[in-house]
Structure 1
Amino acid sequence: MLLLGLGLLITSCSQKTITSSSAEAISTATTDSATVNTTAFEVPVEYYTLDNGLKVVLSPDHTAPVVTVAVYYNIGFRIEPKDRTGFAHLFEHMMFQGSENLGKMEFIQLVQKNGGILNGSTRFDFTNYFEIVPAHKLETMLWAEADRMKGLNITQDNLTNQQGVVKNEVKVNVLNQPYGGFPWLDMPQYANKNWYNAHNFYGDLKDLDAANLEDVQSFFKTYYSPNNAALVVVGDFDPAQAKEWVQQYFADIPSAALPEKVDLSEPRQEKEQRFTKDDKLANKPALAFAYHMPERNTPAYYAMGLLDQILLQGKDSRLYQALVQERGYTGSVNGGINAYLGNMFNYNGPMLWMGDLVYDKDVAADSIINVLDQEIAKLQQKGVSQEQLDLAMVKMRSSLYDQVSQLYGFGRADLLATFALFDDNPSRINQLEEEFRKVTPELMQETIRQYLRPTNRTILLINPQAQI
């Protein structure tokens, strides 16, 4: 089944994933730090760049006779034009409207008639497209992806049609939904100050209407060039043969002059922010909290990944236990790093650690915030023991293996593509465990002090307006 569009992917980083953990690896991981280090998981990675700048990652896996082909373009909604909010997402839809050799919707039919599935999505820092097909159809998929990278069939009819589709998506998923856009769309707009991180990336309806053919053509020529993309092949294939096909179909696509990178930096937040949003369709109050993250790939970034496991991930997490099990304020607590639109690895700019919950009307919002403060203060005052750190590492390791094994190789392709785009190093996928293991109890405490302080926090409250 084809799932197109940002709004259909917001609830999970997995894009309708079928997750499976590596049982053997997880079973060997215990809270005993001596045994946690005994099992290593190695993803095969072959990485090279074509003369036109296209980054290519090959990762064979002969477990099943399927292949995943993923093309990631280094353009997300974060850096779309200022007077064209939602344009990156609109353009994602345009990529299915036809190319030189494939008419409108024929790309989709090509995949489905060959027994495959496909998808596309728009995220903070990339737009991605992928197909999962029987292994013997690899060449066909490489040809098809190259065909639309060469050029789209950009017509006024196609543009008008997709403007209507995206506007309807906004109405269905945000404007006419209780808690629509909460908190995945709302919170960045409240917590951030830089327009690039803080605008309505789903798109204002007037901006979507204002897009014209010249905008679309310019956007395609600028951002959908091979030197702004990564191609990843994962699955049951011969690397030598795949290289030949990649060279044959992609090497002649011309590169483009890329614009200078925009400044995405956020000022240091020194005062807590609180906002309330009325929701005419909601019948219960909701609360979201967000803290600005440490810079990606720093020691504190990895420490925050483990703090996320301790505080927010799973039913053993501090916040689930305190808010659900002990006090019964809510039935669940959700969130994470880059929550709702990916994972802690597949972004490339300022980010939030965020959590949210819907709660009973007789519960005061300050009671929830006090619990949050208390749980963070316990970790700060008592410290994070090595035993707690080891348990967080087990959870992180399990989560990472889930990510790598998602959807017949797509999870692996996602990490490889983003590490190629953002770090020029897809082999980082094999270095993540080592980076997390460098985190010490002392670093955890310092990270709490620097980043989980109330003055680094934004609170967003939903005021329900629906009549029950």
Structure 2
Amino acid sequence: MIDFESYTLPNGLTVLLHHDEQRTVATVNVLYKVGSRNDPPHRTGFAHLFEHLMFAGSENVPNFDDALQLAGGENNAVTSSDYTLYYETLPAENLETALWLESDRMRKLRFSKRSLENEKRVVIEEFRETCLEQPYGDLYHHFNGLIYREHPYRWPVIGQDIDHIREATLEEVKEFYYRYYRPDNAILCIAGNFDPTTIRKSIADYFADIPPSDTQLPRPVILPEPPQEDFRHLRVEGEVPSPVIYLHFRTVDRLHEDFPATDTLSFLLGGGRSSLLYRRLVRDTELFAEVSAGINDNLDSGGIIVEARPSEDVDYTTARAALYAAIDEMIEVGISQEELDKVVHRLEQRNHYREANISNRANELVFFALLGDPALINTEMDKYLSLTVEQINAVARRYLRQQVRAELEYLSAPLA
């Protein structure tokens, strides 16, 4: 059981406190409810650009990293489709340094054309290196648009078009900041060793007077993606070393009651050497060199993703047919109690491993708070432990059927 407190400041900032006096460090997480789903359609990649801008200096902090390193800390950040998370770990006695740094950049970034141009260059270079110069680097530029027709999930986190970042203006950046980077759109989590008698006052001193969102900058409502009712297919050719098949099966929202079952199903399907796809396609037949499956846990309209790379010198058509035959086996035959027990045991071990690390605890707390219920950190695993073979087999029939599939074949371009 992970004990925590939760409360909200008058300006709307959600605060989570997890005290562990056995630790010598403290972790500070700030999650902003803004991800690539909130990018303006003509400025895709904006949330990711902002992750970089948040380290470029704020009103009283010329360089975020330098100040944190002087306090013996380290930090990082991640942008997803649904949120952007900033986190620091530092010696417990220097906790207030992280509170000062995070509050200062929540209060007011130091906007300048120079810093914007610098960070745009960094992001544009990252786009080139990861999307244009790597084999399969533009995969999600094709795949996301195949899976989603209307929702902003249809573009990747890094952005759909490099010009969207290149043409971004300082005025657009300021508007994005004051629309989304406000305390009422954020969650602060402090985990580890801190003084529980003074921590609330420290948080109030640093964060309570930061103004909430301006009513003149409303956050647009994002409508849900319509249900998928037909098989979708796309074939892409590029300079890649071998063909790869990518499948997506539309499942459910992150809070749907079927989510634990679909997550477990993804492990049974392609989560390691004991999974069905590995046994049938790699171990038994050697038709595929690699095959895996995992969950797409977007807050809205998630899915199961399968990635399968046929072995060299294998007939591609034969391999692809075998992949579909293995998936049909999961639908028609299903799983055994022994298979389910093995996977649930693995998931339970994964959960215990995450809980052992104080930074992971903070990450879990802010994510579940984003979902609206931080108590899920203690209760969600029970939903996995209670799953039955009948539930998993029913979910396989419901969510692996052809009508909710999307397939992208990424093939090697023929020689000229």
When structure 1 is superposed on structure 2, of 260-269 and 285-294 the one drifting more is: 260-269
Work out which of the residue numbers 54, 60, 75 in structure 1 matches 2:19: 60
1:124-163 matches, within 5 Å, as 124-163=81-120
- How far has the Cα of 1:369 moved from its partner? 3.9
Task: Return 5+ residue gaps in structure 2 as ranges.
Answer: none
Q: Which residue of 2 aligns with 1:290?
A: 248
| 2:337 corresponds to 1:389 | no
Kept in 1: contact 2:151–2:224 (CA 8 A): no
- How far has the Cα of 1:263 moved from its partner? 3.1
Work out which of the residue numbers 186, 195, 210 in structure 2 matches 1:238: 195
1:250-289 matches, within 5 Å, as 250-256=207-213, 257=215, 259-280=218-239, 282-289=240-247
Work out which of the residue numbers 298, 307, 311 in structure 2 matches 1:356: 307
Kept in 2: contact 1:283–1:465 (CA 8 A): no
Instruction: Find the aligned partners of 1:60 and 1:372 in 2 and give their Cα distance.
Output: 48
Kept in 2: contact 1:79–1:262 (CA 8 A): no
CA 1:61–1:320 in 2, change beyond 3 Å: closer, same or farther? farther
- How far has the Cα of 1:349 moved from its partner? 1.4
Instruction: Find the aligned partners of 1:365 and 1:443 in 2 and give their Cα distance.
Output: 34
- How far has the Cα of 1:391 moved from its partner? 1.9
- How far has the Cα of 1:466 moved from its partner? 8.6
Work out which of the residue numbers 409, 412, 430 in structure 1 matches 2:358: 409
Q: Which residue of 2 aligns with 1:433?
A: 381
Task: Return 5+ residue gaps in structure 1 as ranges.
Answer: 1-41, 339-343
- How far has the Cα of 1:279 moved from its partner? 1.8
- How far has the Cα of 1:112 moved from its partner? 2.0
When structure 1 is superposed on structure 2, of 92-101 and 185-194 the one drifting more is: 185-194
What are the superposed Cα offsets for residues 192-235 of structure 1, whole Å, 9 maximum, x if unpaired? 11141212432212111221111011111110000000001111
- How far has the Cα of 1:63 moved from its partner? 4.2
Instruction: Find the aligned partners of 1:245 and 1:198 in 2 and give their Cα distance.
Output: 41
Instruction: Find the aligned partners of 1:120 and 1:126 in 2 and give their Cα distance.
Output: 11
Kept in 2: contact 1:287–1:365 (CA 8 A): no
| 2:330 corresponds to 1:418 | no
Kept in 2: contact 1:283–1:466 (CA 8 A): no
- How far has the Cα of 1:365 moved from its partner? 4.2
- How far has the Cα of 1:261 moved from its partner? 5.0
CA 1:383–1:352 in 2, change beyond 3 Å: closer, same or farther? closer
Instruction: Find the aligned partners of 2:56 and 2:389 in 1 and give their Cα distance.
Output: 52
Counterpart of 2:326 in structure 1: which amino acid? E
Instruction: Find the aligned partners of 2:29 and 2:414 in 1 and give their Cα distance.
Output: 43
| 2:175 corresponds to 1:194 | no
Q: Which residue of 2 aligns with 1:98?
A: 57
| 2:31 corresponds to 1:72 | yes
Over the aligned positions, Cα root-mean-square deviation in angstroms equals: 2.1
Instruction: Find the aligned partners of 1:325 and 1:118 in 2 and give their Cα distance.
Output: 41
Instruction: Find the aligned partners of 1:62 and 1:115 in 2 and give their Cα distance.
Output: 19
Work out which of the residue numbers 408, 412, 416 in structure 2 matches 1:464: 412
Kept in 2: contact 1:100–1:147 (CA 8 A): yes
Percent identity, aligned pairs only?
34
Counterpart of 1:132 in structure 2: which amino acid? T
Alignment partner of 2:198: what SS? helix
| 2:123 corresponds to 1:123 | no
- How far has the Cα of 1:381 moved from its partner? 2.9
What are the superposed Cα offsets for residues 107-131 of structure 1, whole Å, 9 maximum, x if unpaired? 1012223322211121010011111
Instruction: Find the aligned partners of 1:320 and 1:270 in 2 and give their Cα distance.
Output: 28
Q: Which residue of 2 aligns with 1:372?
A: 323
What are the superposed Cα offsets for residues 59-109 of structure 1, whole Å, 9 maximum, x if unpaired? 123443111111000000012111111111111111011111101xx2101
CA 1:320–1:63 in 2, change beyond 3 Å: closer, same or farther? farther
Q: Which residue of 2 aligns with 1:207?
A: 164
Higher RCO structure, 1 or 2 (CA under 8 Å, sep 6+): 1
Instruction: Find the aligned partners of 1:302 and 1:199 in 2 and give their Cα distance.
Output: 26
Instruction: Find the aligned partners of 1:200 and 1:304 in 2 and give their Cα distance.
Output: 23
